[in-house]
Structure 1
């Protein structure tokens, strides 16, 4: 089977690229198509594949300023030559699913989210631009919404990375989807009961993730906080942080893993489509204090693996920290880590294999080993991997 995987751009190794790596493990023979690639950031897994770029990659400054070429990306996608490919898998968050395939090809889209900057976060993005750029975005976004909706019809099957995103797919595209939670390498983390007293914020430091709220909350309370990540807010967070708040910036994985293991709890103040960071913290046995919207509702069990606060405010974060400290002994390191295993990368591959096999069968193609792989993954998985994560059953006793 000749397989093409379409990914929006390859300029960093973040959550979307982790999904791409797992798709590449499913299809080691696949070719990757993307708008822009920075070879220096690619993982060894991705480097083993043939990578084809659109003409965007040859435009001035594309690796750093690829988002400025967004209006050209629909045209660039449709210019990609996918003749002869039997299976096309698009990884959609930026423009990716709008490719033109052979009539008999099967197209499965793994949707991290419909493009946020023209749909659910349009007004946030527009408000963050200057007056001139904000005005220019209006007609561009109108065109992209039309194109994005029309090209949804080119997809045979949608996989959504969460129920949260599945609702957006239904709202914006009028299509159903199957929820397949993204892969988390939970085996990379060791559950640890002890802590060094500090709270942790980790992830991209961009506006909608609201790390600024956490910094201000801990500025006021005086509790120790560590912030790890890179992004446009990094310098501003360093300027506003008081001595009890350490803004470390980007850190290597070993440092991040160490901070997960040594923190008292993770603070997660943003609304995410899914959110891999809370699952990594839980795989380390640590509770998550999260804003109760978006993907956190599908990963964190309130009162069991963490606590929710219901509004994005400094007062709400500090109130959640106080509630956590008053009930901290009720949280079990072992149960939190067990819950995180429900998002294991093996489960992602098995469920994607099953979805793709059903799509191929429906189109009259032979799914090959995919159906068997899906069945074997479900049968061989640990009990915690057999079903999507659900609230843990009541415990017979409290555990510290």
Structure 2
């Protein structure tokens, strides 16, 4: 066995696994009698993105579950989630919490610990912002599905701080230290971790010193389908939220050099309008579009361009479900979804030059001719049934029957 200088924390993880085993008998008693009481803790509910799609799938697994969250704007949330009992923490009572919730991050640890989970048989936390820090009853297994350890505390701390305003930039060093300590401490309360990708599992090991199994998030692959080759075009596609870390800037500049048509789909409006002002004529911005428009572009594009490093990345799976290949930066979640030269092309240089060369290689090797049916079969591995089976398997490992 290799030496490990983090022995105390490793022992903590072993204790957690032992606790999970000790919980097995009472957990099974709950699950085989009347319906178990299930609490799902979700960081915040202010819109429908990837994390909320995971929450919807958990709601379908446990239609009786109660949801706890820091802030909640029902008008932005699906009917499925709104159909559950949704309870908010004390953070929701702070001024303008629905819009300023991220500014209240220092108040969230205490707010989570104030949640009374007495009488619940199972706790599932959905972690990207603070969610896992609840205090579960001793007999209730706590499974954490982690989309990402908080990037603004860990690997992206300096990026977020450098891009923040003066007040936030001044306060962050004073607040982040204590939040990191709480983040690690609260990780020891969790009985089992599930990561949405191998990339996230590695960061859980790095920052929390806990092992995590990998269960990819559910993708609605059945909503997408290929079109005949005669209906496809020569347009490349970039789609998603126009956030800096997704690197739309690299895509735009690379296609300026290539002088090939690129369609950019996504918001917010102020971002794409700003990018459009300096973009070349061969790059077209559509902003946010209805789903049928996105679906049509997915199926007809030559390839999806995916130059950012993401925790998982649902968009590439949707493109492959549409029968189209992906040109992706070969780091992060793309390594779990894109198979080099079988479902697309992975490139290693995250720069304009790197993407230009990747597109040239993609065309030279005629990778746009990859079999659409093979791509859709590959994408099917990421459907909701696979996600729910993975969650059920991890709950079973904690001694809790999934239904």
State the TM-score, normalized to the length of structure 2: 0.88
Indicate yes or no: 2:293 matched with 1:255.
yes
**Take 1:64 and 1:224, find their aligned partners in 2: how far apart are those partners?**
37
Residues 108-131 of structure 1, C-alpha deviation per residue, up to 9 Å, x if partnerless? 000011111111111111121134
Instruction: Tell me which residue corresponds to 1:116.
Output: 151
Map of 2:396 onto structure 1: 357
Following the alignment from structure 2 to structure 1, what is the Cα–Cα distance between the partners of residues 280 and 88? 45
Name the SS for the 2:281 alignment partner.
coil
Bigger drift between 240-249 and 146-155 goes to 240-249
Distance in 2 (CA, whole Å) between partners of 1:93 and 1:198 is 34
Question: In the alignment, which residue of structure 2 is the partner of 1:105?
Answer: 140
Specify the alignment match of 2:310 in structure 1. Answer: 272
Deviation at 1:369, TM superposition (A): 5.2
Structure 2 residue aligned with 1:233, among 267, 271, 274? 271
Answering whether residue 37 of structure 2 is matched by residue 2 of structure 1, we say: yes
- In 1, are the aligned partners of 2:395 and 2:402 still within 8 Å (CA)? no
Matches within 5 A, 1:306-321: 306-321=344-359
- 2:201 corresponds in structure 1 to 166
**Count of matched residue pairs:** 364
Are the equivalent residues in 2 in contact too, given 1:193–1:285 (CA < 8 A)? Answer: no
C-alpha displacement of 1:52: 0.3
- What stretches of structure 2 of length at least 5 have no aligned partner? 1-35
Classify the secondary structure of the residue corresponding to 1:154.
coil
Contact 1:227 1:249 in 2 (8 A): yes
Q: Distance in 1 between matches of 2:290 and 2:98?
A: 22
Distance in 1 (alpha carbons) for counterparts of 2:289 and 2:174: 39
Alpha-carbon shift at residue 135 of structure 1 (Å): 2.3
Give 3-state SS (helix, strand or coil) of 1:247's partner: strand
Contact map agreement 1:3 1:86 (CA 8 A) in 2:
yes
Which residue number in structure 2 is paired with residue 11 of structure 1?
A: 46
What does residue 90 of structure 2 align with?
Answer: 55
Cα deviation digits, residues 78-112 of structure 1 (max 9, x gap): 11221111100000000000011212111000001
Which aligned pairs between 1:117-156 and structure 2 lie closer than 5 A?
117-156=152-191
The structural deviation recorded for 1:27 is: 0.3
Query: Within 2, Cα distance between the matches of 1:89 and 1:165?
Result: 18
Cα distance in 2 for residues equivalent to 1:259 and 1:138: 44
Distance between the aligned counterparts of 2:65 and 2:42, measured in 1?
Answer: 12
Partners of 2:356 and 2:402 in 1: CA distance: 51
Instruction: Measure how far apart 1:355 and its partner are.
Output: 0.8
Who is 2:239 aligned against? 202
- Give 1:173 deviation, angstroms: 1.0
1:136 CA displacement: 1.3
Matches within 5 A, 1:331-342: 331-342=370-381
Is residue 370 of structure 2 the alignment partner of residue 322 of structure 1? Answer: no
Q: Runs (4+) of structure 1 moved beyond 4 Å?
A: none
1:142-189 per-position Cα deviation (integer Å, ceiling 9, x unaligned): 111111000001100000111111111111111111111111111110
Q: Is the 8 A contact 2:392 2:401 kept in 1?
A: no
Given the alignment of the two structures, is residue 224 of structure 1 paired with residue 261 of structure 2, yes or no?
yes
Distance 2:336 2:278 in 1: 32
Q: Is the 8 A contact 1:198 1:225 kept in 2?
A: yes
Tell me the SS of whatever aligns to 1:169. helix
TM-score normalized with structure 1 length: 0.88
Do residues 96 (structure 1) and 134 (structure 2) align? no
Q: State the superposition RMSD in angstroms.
A: 1.4
- Name the SS for the 2:203 alignment partner: helix
Q: Which residue of 2 aligns with 1:69?
A: 104
SS of the residue corresponding to residue 263 of structure 2 reads: strand
Q: What is the CA-CA distance between 1:193 and the residue it aligns to?
A: 4.5
**128-137 or 206-215, which moves further after superposition?**
128-137
1:79 alignment counterpart: 114
Following TM superposition, by how much is the alpha carbon of 1:368 offset from its aligned partner in structure 2, in angstroms?
4.2
User: 1:349-377 CA deviation, whole Å, 9 max, x = no partner?
Assistant: 01101111221x2xxxxx3454xxxxxxx
For structure 1, the residue ranges without an aligned partner over 5 or more in a row are 362-366, 371-400
Q: Distance in 1 between matches of 2:191 and 2:224?
A: 36
